[in-house]
Amino acid sequence: MLLQPGSCGLYNAWMMVILALGLWSTLQSESDAERLVRQLVEKLSSDKVEERDDAARKLTALGRAAVPELERASLNRDVEMAERARRILRSIPRLRIGEEKVLTEIPEGAEFIRAVFSPSGSFAAIVYRNGDNCFLSCRGKASPPLEFPPSIALSPDGQHVAYQGASDGKTLIGLDDQLLYEGDALWLPPFVFSPDSSSLAYILNHKGSQFVCRGKTQGPAFTRVGEPVFRPDGRAIAYAAIEGGQAFVVAGEVRGRTFREIPSPPVYSPDGKSLLYAAGRFEESAIVIGDEVRKIEADSVSELALAPDGKTVAYVAGKDGAYRIVLGREEVPVFGKIMSPLRFTADGKKVAYLSKDRDLWYAVLGRRHGEGFPEIDQDSLALSPDGEKLAYAATRGEGWMTVAGDAVGDPFADARDPIWSPDGSAVAYRANIGGERKDIEALGGRWLIVVGDKRSDPFDYVGSPHFSLDGGSVSFGVRRGRKLSWMTVSPK
């Protein structure tokens, strides 16, 4: 809702932003204000970078007044525009620096397990135990009683929560307050959301067969299926499958040609018109792009990735026990054994990955690698905005620390979710003191947010941090006793 003259302090602050941006000449009434925000949001789909950046700057400055229109844009079928809107939404502080807003409370007598917070600070989803059962509570509604703490995932726009649990021996799959599946099949991670967050795909295993589901709709059963991927417009999904000893890709309802193996998930081109994947047939290896099969001089091809602009393909090729990364027309030596998918930098010129050499793990960017560690959190790898540095969580045995470029942070009982500031000058992450790290996150102890060499106060729990677009504030969720809140602090 746009700010009203009746809310004097907020209205005056908003009008000062309008004047500072030089927009007063276009703003004479509330309807003009709505029209202005709508016009700025429409410019997020402009082909001109300068026009998009200018619109993003003005929408960020307008702050909460722009949120309703940005939330609508975040669900747009134009995937790039929707992502820009989501990025701005995440950057708009819903609170001023130093403010805190209570979102929800844990039921009295219940035991807190974990929580996820929407990046905008609009809600928190809580997992807790009450008596012999576990529950997921979100927006005032609780899941059915569950036998163990459920797996949960937040949608790209931060507005939906998917979960998997079990009740009376049955597998339950839910999305918000909607039950999508209840039955004897076993869930295989992960959850996969469509780009606009409106649809959920997942894999079930039942009596030796596997099938991909979209919402409540179950696809055909195969011996094995791979992770599904959505077409950019969200209208179709594709995945690799095996049946009768042959591998093939299923796109929508169409089964593709057969191969010996398809080692990694297919990838859609940005316009959704082509599907790309690596494949092996008899003694040959190939890259498949749409209907074209390109033979590759290699014993194996895997980890195919596509640059953000859709113009460059990267993959790992192996021959006679030696491996190399093919990046467009360039070949890049592989350091150690690749242990993660390839990730392109924003400009499409380099790829990042995790590798293992002897007993040590390394983070690799292009042709450079950092220090070796006994273990690196595979979910923590974060590229700096300029694509020149990596951040990740690693351990040497005395604790977990966050590495940002060449700088190694202090050790903690746990360190997770590193994120770069918009200008790449600092990294924020959440850390635990006094607890014990587990697969999901540390148990016990106290949690805090670390930004560079600055630390927040300790809390019973904290969620992932989020920088504002200008880097001037950091927002995150916290737990104090039974209350879960959203707060905004200065990173300095």
CA distance 436 to 376: 17
For 175-234, write each residue's pLDDT tens digit. Answer: 998 999 999 999 999 999 998 888 999 999 999 999 999 999 999 999 999 999 999 989
SS3 18: helix
Residue 367 pLDDT > 60, yes or no?
yes
For 453, list phi and psi in degrees, rounded to 5: -105, 15
Residue 450, in any domain of the structure: no
Residue 224, in any domain of the structure: no
Residue 396, in any domain of the structure: no
Query: Total structural domains in the chain?
Result: 1
* Residue positions counted in the chain: 492
Residue 205, in any domain of the structure: no
* pLDDT in the model for residue 40: 87
Residue 268, in any domain of the structure: no
Q: Which amino acid is at 274?
A: S
Average pLDDT, the chain: 88
Task: Find how far residue 458's CA is from the centre of its chain.
Answer: 26
* pLDDT in the model for residue 251: 95
Residue 134, in any domain of the structure: no
Dihedral angle sign, alpha carbons of residues 239, 286, 337, 427: negative
Q: Confidence band (pLDDT; 50, 70, 90) for 94?
A: low
Residue 67, in any domain of the structure: yes
Pairing between β-strand 461-462 and β-strand 284-289 as defined by DSSP bridges = unpaired
Q: Confidence band (pLDDT; 50, 70, 90) for 14?
A: very low
Q: Which residues form the domain of 15?
A: 8-91
Cβ pair 353, 315 in contact under 8 A? no
Tokens of 148: 């163990």
Residue 466, in any domain of the structure: no
For 119-164, write each residue's pLDDT tens digit. Answer: 888 899 999 999 999 999 999 899 999 999 999 999 987 889 999 9
For 450-474, write each residue's pLDDT tens digit. Answer: 998 899 999 999 999 998 877 888 9
Percent of the chain with pLDDT over 70: 92
> What's the pTM value of the predicted model, to 2 decimals?
0.81
* pLDDT in the model for residue 33: 64
- Judged by phi (left if over 0) then psi (alpha if -120 to 50, else beta), residue 267 lies in beta
